[in-house]
Amino acid sequence: VVGSFPVPGKVALYLEQGGDPGADFSSDTGDTIGVRISGADGRGAVFYVPGCARIDAALRMRLADAACLLFDGTVYTDDEMITARVGQKTGARMGHIAMSGEAGSIAGLADVKIGRRIFIHINNTNPVLDENSAEHAAIKAAGWEVAADGMEMEF
């Protein structure tokens, strides 16, 4: 069984008006979705959420008891692309929650019962891609994995 659901995100790029990199284009109206995949009995659900702007109560409730979560890992810190001098937008401005920090996905989902936690959709500026980095060690210590090219899973 496959179903979709809205997640906090942002409007599509073509709907943005103006060039202000600091503008707020956040959306809760279904502009960004997640996908729930489960067997016919509804148990053992896998959730695919490649883009998410923030963790809210509705998302936390929906993800509770997931067998596996494939979640937005675009940036480790919100200002990562600015700091790396490769862009002017923050992760939040692009509709992507940071992994780290008090408002990040690791903290926001820490007490939600989820089996396997895997970050996907990882930007090339994200230091978790370096398996020897402190950031990679931090996400592993928090119970998360980093998806890899060719990764396969069986459920």
Count the neighbouring beta carbons within 10 Å of the beta carbon of residue 84: 14
pLDDT of the residue at 91: 94
- Examine residue 9 and state whether it is found in any structural domain, yes or no: no
Q: What is the mean pLDDT of the chain?
A: 92
In a domain, 91, yes or no: yes
Question: Between the CA atoms of 54, 4, 14 and 57, what dihedral angle is there, to the nearest 10 degrees?
Answer: -20
Residue-number span of the structural domain to which 40 is assigned: 36-128
Say what the pLDDT of residue 115 is: 97
The DSSP secondary-structure symbol of 86 reads: S
What confidence tens digit (pLDDT) does each residue in 143-155 have? 999 999 999 988 7
CA distance 55 to 8: 7
For 11-61, the pLDDT digits (tens) are 777 777 766 656 666 666 778 999 999 998 878 899 999 999 999 999 999
